[in-house]
């Protein structure tokens, strides 16, 4: 068994860069532990008004714990990140931020939902709508080999802001190494999120994280790959899904149409405001490509789990 190392709260950075100084040096197989802040780095606080979303200093979003230098990791290898523990703290938030999100042209006013995460298992949108917590790190990645500093917002061949909701406890993430030591970092933890994170935020939450980091030597991959255990949606499958579709010659447009139809469905049949429906879709609705071979039109479906309606 490897040693356990703690990343202190101040050992963070806000950009990807091969020039970042390592916060830790570890041996392959060692475990790292950190307590990360939510994505705004404390600029959004419990109970704050939606207007706070428009006042954020964007240079201070995406605080990433790290970087971690893994001894012996070289370009052409892959880091093997085993997810051992993910424990949300007591509170989280989901926001509609003007200018961002899949339907940014439809939602121009900030909106925020604060979530109570104290029971550690579920949270409530409102009475009768209960959401299971399925925590994961929205950002896990290594340093790019490109010069200069890069924004965390878009993902890349190094991983980063991938928002893959199935990277839960028990999963293993494989990251291609681009610079010596890999320079691994993580952050942007979510207590729950649907595939697509359609309003650009999941349940953003401070998180306690434990990861074991190994090296697969000579395991050359072009972009991240991962292994997940067991059923992907076991907390939802027992009561099935209601799905809407979007059909268009462009996948992005089809995704927007599927989501707009879902928001209309939630408003009509579950008496939600458009903002509530958009936020709920970001947290639990999964976007899936249903058809991409029958030119000229492709189909994206939006899956709403019926199990949330208790």
Q: So what's the pLDDT on residue 6? A: 98
310 confidence band (pLDDT: 50, 70, 90): confident
Average pLDDT over every residue of 271-299: 98
Q: Measured between alpha carbons, how far is residue 210 from residues 116, 155, 216, 230 in Å?
A: 23, 22, 20, 20
- Report whether 68 contacts 225 (CB < 8 A): no
**For tokens 């370009």, what's the residue?**
75
- Report whether 215 contacts 72 (CB < 8 A): yes
- CA dist., res. 129 & res. 205, Å (int): 20
- CA dist., res. 14 & res. 23, Å (int): 13
Average pLDDT over every residue of 255-282: 98
133: alpha, beta or left, given left = phi > 0 and alpha = psi -120 to 50? beta
Res 1 pLDDT > 80: no
Listed by start position, the domains of the chain span 4-227, 237-308
Q: So what's the pLDDT on residue 163? A: 98
Peptide bond into 145 cis (omega under 30): no
Q: So what's the pLDDT on residue 2? A: 84
Residues whose CB falls within 8 Å of the CB of residue 55, separated by 6 or more in sequence, listed in order: 43
Residues whose CB falls within 8 Å of the CB of residue 194, separated by 6 or more in sequence, listed in order: 165, 202, 281, 282, 283, 284, 285, 286, 287
pLDDT tens digit sequence for 114-154:
999 999 999 999 999 999 999 999 999 999 999 999 999 99
43 confidence band (pLDDT: 50, 70, 90): very high
Q: Measured between alpha carbons, how far is residue 194 from residues 22, 166, 234, 259 in Å?
A: 33, 10, 14, 12
Q: So what's the pLDDT on residue 214? A: 98
- Burial (0-12, 13-18, 19+ Cβ within 10 Å), 234: exposed
- CA dist., res. 49 & res. 47, Å (int): 7
Whole-structure pTM value: 0.96
Q: So what's the pLDDT on residue 167? A: 98
pLDDT tens digit sequence for 288-308:
999 999 999 999 999 999 999
Q: Does domain 237-308 have CATH number 3.10.28.20?
A: yes
Beta-strand ranges (E) seen in the chain are: 4-7, 12-13, 24-26, 30-36, 64-70, 78-88, 91-96, 111-116, 122-126, 129-132, 136-141, 159-161, 172-176, 182-190, 207-216, 225-227, 241-248, 286-291, 298-305
Chain centroid to CA 96: how far? 16
The CATH number for 4-227, chosen from 1.10.10.1100, 1.10.150.20, 3.40.50.300, 2.60.120.580, is 2.60.120.580
pLDDT tens digit sequence for 64-97:
999 999 999 999 999 999 999 999 999 999 999 9
- CA dist., res. 91 & res. 156, Å (int): 29
């Amino acid at each position: 068994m490897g040693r356990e190392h703690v990343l202190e709260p101040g050992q963070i950075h806000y950009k990807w860069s091969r020039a970042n100084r390592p916060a830790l040096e570890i041996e392959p197989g060692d475990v790292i532990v950190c307590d990360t802040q939510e994505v705004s780095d404390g600029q959004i606080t419990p109970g704050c008004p939606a207007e706070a979303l428009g006042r954020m200093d964007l240079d201070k979003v995406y605080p990433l714990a790290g970087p971690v230098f893994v001894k012996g990791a070289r370009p052409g290898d892959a880091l093997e990140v085993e997810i051992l523990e993910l424990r949300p703290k007591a509170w989280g938030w989901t926001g509609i931020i003007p200018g961002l999100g899949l339907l940014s042209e439809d939602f121009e006013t900030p909106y925020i939902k604060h979530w109570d995460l104290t029971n550690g298992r579920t949270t409530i949108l409102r009475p009768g709508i209960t959401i299971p917590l399925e925590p994961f790190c929205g950002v896990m990645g290594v340093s790019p080999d490109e010069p200069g500093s890069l924004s965390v917002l878009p993902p890349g061949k190094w991983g980063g802001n991938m928002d893959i909701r199935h990277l839960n406890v028990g999963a293993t993430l494989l990251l291609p190494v681009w610079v010596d030591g890999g320079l691994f970092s993580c952050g942007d933890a979510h207590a729950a999120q649907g595939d697509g994170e359609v309003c650009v935020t999941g349940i953003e939450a401070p998180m306690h994280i434990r990861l074991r980091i190994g090296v697969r030597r000579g395991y050359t991959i072009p972009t991240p790959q991962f292994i997940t255990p067991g059923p992907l949606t076991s907390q939802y499958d027992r009561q099935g899904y209601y799905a809407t579709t979007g059909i268009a010659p462009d996948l992005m447009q089809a995704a927007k149409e599927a989501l707009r139809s879902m928001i209309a469905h939630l408003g009509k049949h579950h008496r939600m405001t458009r903002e509530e429906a958009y936020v709920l879709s970001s947290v639990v609705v999964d976007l899936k490509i249903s058809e991409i071979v029958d030119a000229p039109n492709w189909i994206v479906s939006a899956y709403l789990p019926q199990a949330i309606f208790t």
